[in-house]
Each structure stands twice: as structure tokens, then as C-alpha cells.
Structure 1
Amino acid sequence: MRLTSFILGAAAALTLSTPSLAQELTAITGGRVLTGTSVIENGTVVLRDGRIVSVGTSAAPSGARIIDARGKIVTPGFVAVDSGLGGSEVSSVRGSNDLSSSANSVSAAFDVSYGLDPWSFTLPVARLGGVTRAIVTPSHAGGGGGGHAHDDSDFAGVGSAGLQSPSLFAGQAAVIHLAEGTDILVKPRVAMVAPFGEAGAGIAGGARGAQFTQFKETLAEVRLFARNRSAYDRAGLRDLSLSRADLEALIPVANGTMPLIVTVHRAADIQQVLRLGREEGVKLILDGAEEGWLVADQIAAAGVPVLLNPIANLPSSFEMRAARMENAAALQAAGVVIAIKGNEGSTHRARDIRYNAGNAVSHGLSYEAAIAAITVNPARIFGMAGQFGELKAGAAADVVIWSGDPLEPLSQAEAVYIGGEAQSMTSRQFLLRDRYRNGGVQANGMPPAYGQ
């Protein structure tokens, strides 16, 4: 009898601890609501079953649980692009960094989604900065993808003779959410990643022209393979420079259904990448584009979005001689869809995306455009418009309640909801702070491990 009672009691407790609370009707009321595309004063955001039911000025529905946001600002969760979140713990410790592969038999086919760590200490820190989703991208020569800088030689390939070594491609990006739990993957293989400019030239033999020629030849081989799989399987096709896995992975790039994230900085290189996209029918996303303002009209005319860091304003190389903090404003004014990145690969400093957006506003970008660049625009760029990054009916209930203007450094996230679930507002850093704030000694004079 006692065992039965215990089992029933445990089952009841388990039921209460499941996401059923997230399934109840909840209304966040009275706040200044920034939807990602508009502003609603004294707004009401209604959530249920992990989704947004409605956003507007109506009263809360009858029976809804009320969350009072008067005097606060309510936004969608921010989206970190070109991120290493969940894929890298300490970038200098190779065993904890799953953002790159040096095997030339697995380059384009490298899928970062298989290395994601839901227990990464970086996730709660980013979440406290209002980040609820991220586009995790592979690292590569030139510092793009995950944002960790590497020397070109770090990516020298090893493996089967005759294959590209190193490869032109870094691998495939994935979308994650930052909610507590054991499965953070939202969608794998959302884009392919490749470096161009100086980094790409270094991979291809030292000259930009060599890389473009090799890239076009690679796409030709991919299309040849796609038309002749059976001949390839019976060894009836000429030798190709990529493994079968890489050839398969590049088919959606070659047919224009998977976007190619191109890390590029110099205006002249941007022009040539746009030309390549036209000639080969490749769907492009520019990453970096520090000199993009010089050719903003051309980028806009091509309909190519840009992932950028608006505070990249130093001529740190010959590729970035014309870098300036007005880059984001100039691109947006020309009609380019932009997404603002964090610093250092949006891994340990992913929360900086809101500070960077604020800096962009101080250099000419409109406030509304800055909010869009860290919410709705990333979702649009990666083919997930309406699914997250915006407070609208049907979108994921990723909602952040702020103490003040989210682009002001002193404002803090007071509540974070991902998929309608309230998230913990602490992190390992806070726990360590609290443990050692008094020198690691408790009131009884003993170290923390000994308790009170």
C-alpha cells in the first residue's frame, strides 16, 4: 500500500513538473511591446501551448494567468547569428570545440548539429542577455563561422589522396533554441559556409582568381555527380575532387535551395561574390561585409542579406581599409536585409548583440531597424520567418521582459520565456559569484562544501 501511494504521489509530482504550465493561457499585459516589426504601447501578448496566440491592445482573455509588465519593455527573444553557442565551450581547448573539421573527406558534409551540447555553460549566459535562438555555424580559415579566428594552416586537410585539401567549404549551419532541456536542435543543415577573400585565396593556392575557378569547377562536379549517381556507384565516372558525402551535401547549394554563407570583407571581393552568385545560381548570405557600404546598392539589387558586426570599424587588414561604424545604417538604407552579430563569434559574448545594435543606432541605424536586425531579420534570412524572432500569432512564444530599453547596457532581462516556458534567470557565473562573494567562507566559518 505504501509503495502504491509512493508511486502515485511521484506520478502526481511528475505531472505537475511537466510543461503543462506552459500550456495554460498566459497574458503578458501593460508593457511597451516591440514586436520586431512594430511598437504597441500598453500591449497584451497572449501565449498558450508554446505559441503566441495574439498580440495587441485588447484586455487579457478570461481565465488567463496574468504577468504584469507595466513600466517594462517586452520583446521577442533575440537571435544570435554566426554563432558558436552549444558547439564550443572553450575555443582554445580543442576537445571542447566542435565547430571545425580538418578532414578533407568531410568538409561540406560536416554537420555542426551532431556536436551540440545542451548543457554548455555558454547557453544560460546568452539567455540572460535575451538570446533565445541561435544560428550555429562552423569555424573556418579567416575567422568566420562561430567567429573564432584561425590561421589558414589550421585547416589543412588530411585524408584520402586526390580530394580537396583543404576544402573550400567549412560545413553546414544549424538553428538551435536556448531553452533548458536535453534537446536544443531546431533545424540542422540550414546553410553551407565558405570563406572568400584572403582566407579563401589562401585555401585555393594564394590567389582569389584561383578560388573562384576552383569553386566553379567544384559546382560543376557536384552537378555531374547529381546527374550520374548510378555511374558514380559503379565507378563509371571520372575521379572527383570531393568525397561522396561532400558531393551530396553540396547538391542543394548547386541547385540554389540551400544558402551559402560567404565570409567576405573587401568591397571588390563582395562584387565578385555577387557575380559568382549570378553566374552559378547560388543563393548567398554575406558574412562580415565590413566594406559593404561601398557597394550597398549592388548588394541590395542582388537581394543578398548581410550578417555584420556594426562595431567593426578598424582597418585591421587590407580587406577592411574602409570599415566604418555607419556600415549597418548604409546597408539598411540601401534596402539590404541585415542581421547584427555579437562579438567573438557570438559564443561567450552572444549577449553583446544588443549592445552592438545600440551602437549601430548611435551611428545612424534606426531603432526599429536595429530591433529587427536581432529578431525578425535572422529568422527571415534563414527561411524561418514567422516561426520565431517576432511577436505575432503562431510564432514560438520566445518572449523577454526587460527592465528598460533592451539596447541600453544597464537594462536587464527580468523574465525570459522560450516556447512559452519560463527560463532560469541564473548562470554558472552567478552561482560562482554567490559561492565566493565572501571569500568562499560561510557564516559558520567553513568552506561552502561543508554546508551550514
Structure 2
Amino acid sequence: MKHLLTVAISALALAASPAAAQDFAIINATLAVGDGSDPIPDGTVIVRNGAVIFAGPTEAVESIDVQPVIDGQGLWVTPGLVIAMTDLGLYDVSAVSEGNDRSASSSRFNAALDVAPAINPASQHIGIARSGGLTRALVTPAHGRSLFAGQGAMIDLGMDLDAVQTPRVFQLANLGETGASKSGGSRTAAHVELRNALREARDFAAGRWSGDGNLLTRADAQALGPVISGKQKLFVEVQRASDILVVLALKEEFARLDLVLVGAAEGWLVADEIAAAGVPVIAEGLSDLPVSFELLAATQSNVGRMTQAGVKVAIGSMRGGSNGQPRNAAQFAGNLVALTKIPGASGLSWGQALASISSIPARIAGLDNVGVLKRGAVGDLVIWDGDPLEVSTAPVRVFIDGVEQSLDTHQTRLRERYRDLDESELPKAYDW
């Protein structure tokens, strides 16, 4: 206990004193910039004052005027991975309700709920995700008693205590089976509730909202104002093809909605319509079983087929279930590359797969300088001991905003503690 307390105090002390951005260069590495292009066999990245000033072939570098210079021979370099739709920082042990801030099922508010004040940068889950190469994340609340779950935030996974990069990036709603269950037991009720909420928010913004007879609280009506004006994105969780089309039709009445589809397991059936609407998708990397009626047409080829149709697709929605911990993002992206080798299946090229967990989720969040290595981008990058989309590969160094991060976690400390102990010193449970 004394050892763990010392480690915790040391970690908090480090987090409370943010390190200055570093200058450094990485040369002779296999470089993937994250924009969908193929890896560069002999690449160089130069970071100054926490930002990328060069990323490309080593032969194109005229001079390197920063120190240190890291030899990346035999290593790979990518931008830091970005995961969309996760609950990182909102809980430690999910079964302990006192420390679980994912859902406010008893709250009188819904759309006004904002995850930003509840995010805990010292959460063990954030450290584990960072050690897996993740540097940014879109954190989302879970649905309580309404089809609106609340407002999500973009965080960085660095070790300082100011994790929230951009609060209130999006509003989350559900118009599938979950939304139906929260709205009276039917999709008909869910769609009426959504449209009524958006109309009341529009009236509130226009000064026509008295509060009498309205279903929204004042706080929720105010929170939906940026959604109506298009200043805040509306993420809609929906799986069934017919539900997707109904969501796309919302713009006929609310023209300024900035829609993002989440899930879209049957998106491949209406991929042309999604592409024509210019609506991006955050899909699960592995969803191929008909575990519910809205997933009857789920297939691992979903992401590949939507991408082929011109839809911008990110891999995300990692809040448990089949996808598990967000550190598995690279593995799921790698699965989509492997699908290209299977007759009849649709997957992604290597470059597309990396982009689906780096630049695309960042752009969906409205950030053009995150998840990609280019001049002016933030200095988020990961050095890997091999192909990052191979399951046996691991990060060896991680930088966020040009600052190298510790890859030490509670798990690695337990490994070091017990790995070399004499068998007689192991806990009794090991005898089992």
C-alpha cells in the first residue's frame, strides 16, 4: 500500500507540473502521416516547440537544427491515435457507482449534461490507453433516462491535470432501439421527442420560449441552441438502414444541423445516401452479429463498403462491448486491412485504416491539426516497434504536444512486481 501511495503521489506531482514542449527529430523511420496515404519507408519528422515543422521523406530534409535526433531505424512513426466515442476518464471501476460518471439516469436534465467537469485525467484507463498509442479522445456520456445523453468533449491523454482540450464538441442522441426505450417504448415517440426538443430549442434561441407547457428544461433548451444553429455537432446513434434515412431527413426541417452518424451497422445498405448527404460516420470496428433486430444486416465489410461509396468513416464507439478498451483501436483497424485479403469482403487499405483512427475522427471533431503529421500539426506522435496495425506491435515512445509521456501504468507496475519473484513468494492464489 505504501508503495502504491508513493507512486500515486509521484504521478500527481508530475501531472500538476506540465513539462515544456520539446524539440526533437526522428530520422530513418517508416513514417505514416495519417492522411490516408501509404507509409514512407525512410521518413523524418521534426518537431519544434510542440508542433510539427516537417514530416516526409528523409531525402527531402535540407537540414535538422533541433536536438535530440532519434534514430528510428527499424521503427515506425505515426501520429497519435484519436478515438471517437469513448468513456475514458468517466469511471475507474464501472461497478462502483460512486466513481462512475458515465450516466446520470436520475437527473432532471439531459441535453445540458456536460462530461467535461467529470473527466478524471488520473484515471487508470487513460494511462492504459496512452500506453497503447492514443493521444486524443472524444469522450461521450451514456444515455440516462432521455434520448439525449448530453455533450461530449475532446480530451488529450497527457499526464497533466488539464485534460479537456475542447468542451461541448457535440450533443449525443439516440434514435434507434435505445432511443425508443427512453422515449416511451417506440421509435415513433423518439422521433416526436427529438423534433419537439429541437423546435423548443429554436423557439428559445429566438426569444419565443416562455417555459410554460414546454417539455424541455430551460437548461436543456439553452444547451440545444448551438445544435440548431450548426455550431455544435449532433451525433446520432443509429444502426438500422431505415433509421439512418430518417436521421438524414432531419435536415429538411433543421437545415443547419451538423450531423454525425454513430454506429450505422447497416450503413452499407444506404451508403450512397449517406455520402450524398455529406454526413460522416463513427462506426464500430467489429460489428457482424445480429444480436438485435437493428443489427440484422451487420457485417465486418460495413466500414469498407461505406468508404468505397465516399463516406468519411472513423472507427470508434469503444465504450465496452465487443470493442472493449480504446487501446484496441489499432487492432480493429488492422482487421479492416486483413479483410482486403478475403474474397468477397470489403476492407480498407493500410493508409485508410490508419486514417480511420487518427485524422478522420479528429476532422469529425473539427480539428485539422490533430491525428496527422504535417507542418503546423500538434506534436502528437508515436514510435512503434513495428507495423502499428499488427496485433503484436507496441508503442515504445509517445509524445503529446511535443512532450514525451510515461508509458508506466498500474498494469506494468504489477508486471514488474511479480514477474521475477521466486515462486515461493507468489500470493497463495497462484497455487490454484
Q: TM-score range by the shorter chain?
A: 0.7 to 0.9
Root-mean-square deviation (CA, aligned residues, Å) is: 2.2
Report which stretch shifted further, 122-131 or 36-45: 36-45
CA distance in 1, matches of 2:66, 2:204: 59
**Counterpart in the other structure of 2:335:** 359
CA distance in 2, matches of 1:338, 1:424: 31
Q: Helix, strand or coil for the counterpart of 1:371?
A: helix
1:1-400 paired onto structure 2 within 5 Å: 19-20=19-20, 22-23=21-22, 25-37=23-35, 38=37, 39-56=39-56, 57=58, 58=61, 60-140=63-143, 155=144, 166-228=145-207, 232=210, 238-281=212-255, 282-341=257-316, 343-345=318-320, 349-363=325-339, 364-386=347-369, 388-400=370-382
1:64 offset after TM fit, Å?
2.7
Measured against aligned partners, the alpha-carbon deviations of 1:146-204 in whole angstroms (never above 9, x if no partner) come to xxxxxxxxx3xxxxxxxxxx333110000001111111110100000011111111122
- Rate the CA distance shift 1:49–1:345 in 2: closer, same or farther, 3 A: farther
Q: Aligned letter for 2:213? A: D
Measured against aligned partners, the alpha-carbon deviations of 1:74-123 in whole angstroms (never above 9, x if no partner) come to 00000111111111212222122112112453210100001011110111
Give the total of aligned pairs: 398
Larger radius of gyration: 1
**Counterpart in the other structure of 1:160:** none
Among 414, 419, 422, the alignment partner of 1:432 is 414
Q: Aligned letter for 2:196? A: E
CA distance in 2, matches of 1:313, 1:279: 34
Task: Indicate conservation of the 8 Å contact 1:194/1:261, yes or no.
Answer: yes
Report which stretch shifted further, 244-253 or 254-263: 254-263
CA distance in 2, matches of 1:299, 1:446: 56
CA distance in 2, matches of 1:191, 1:99: 16
User: TM-score normalised to the size of structure 1?
Assistant: 0.84
1:446 offset after TM fit, Å?
11
CA distance in 2, matches of 1:275, 1:223: 18
Measured against aligned partners, the alpha-carbon deviations of 1:338-374 in whole angstroms (never above 9, x if no partner) come to 1112644499611111111111112221111111100
- Rate the CA distance shift 1:423–1:348 in 2: closer, same or farther, 3 A: farther
- Rate the CA distance shift 1:180–1:368 in 2: closer, same or farther, 3 A: same
User: TM-score normalised to the size of structure 2?
Assistant: 0.87
Structure 1 residue runs without a partner (length 5+)? 1-13, 141-154, 156-165, 448-452
Q: Helix, strand or coil for the counterpart of 1:223?
A: helix
Q: Aligned letter for 2:383? A: I
1:437 offset after TM fit, Å?
2.7
Task: Indicate conservation of the 8 Å contact 2:48/2:66, yes or no.
Answer: no
Task: Indicate conservation of the 8 Å contact 2:53/2:376, yes or no.
Answer: yes
Task: Indicate conservation of the 8 Å contact 1:177/1:186, yes or no.
Answer: yes
Report which stretch shifted further, 37-46 or 267-276: 37-46
Task: Indicate conservation of the 8 Å contact 2:283/2:303, yes or no.
Answer: yes
Q: Helix, strand or coil for the counterpart of 1:280?
A: coil
- Rate the CA distance shift 1:438–1:252 in 2: closer, same or farther, 3 A: same
1:228 offset after TM fit, Å?
1.6
Q: Helix, strand or coil for the counterpart of 1:170?
A: strand
Task: Indicate conservation of the 8 Å contact 2:84/2:318, yes or no.
Answer: no
Q: Aligned letter for 1:433? A: R
Q: Aligned letter for 1:26? A: F
1:283 offset after TM fit, Å?
1.6
Q: Aligned letter for 1:404? A: G
Q: Aligned letter for 1:304? A: V
1:278 offset after TM fit, Å?
3.2
Q: Helix, strand or coil for the counterpart of 1:82?
A: strand
Identity of aligned residues (%): 43
CA distance in 2, matches of 1:278, 1:383: 23
Task: Indicate conservation of the 8 Å contact 1:29/1:60, yes or no.
Answer: no
CA distance in 1, matches of 2:394, 2:25: 21
Q: Aligned letter for 1:292? A: G
Measured against aligned partners, the alpha-carbon deviations of 1:266-312 in whole angstroms (never above 9, x if no partner) come to 11111111112333222211111111100000111111111111311
Q: Aligned letter for 1:381? A: I
Q: Aligned letter for 2:216? A: L
Report which stretch shifted further, 77-86 or 357-366: 357-366
Q: Helix, strand or coil for the counterpart of 1:86?
A: coil
Q: Helix, strand or coil for the counterpart of 2:148?
A: coil
Q: Aligned letter for 2:325? A: R
1:222 offset after TM fit, Å?
1.0
CA distance in 2, matches of 1:342, 1:211: 21
Q: Aligned letter for 1:224? A: D
Q: Helix, strand or coil for the counterpart of 1:228?
A: coil
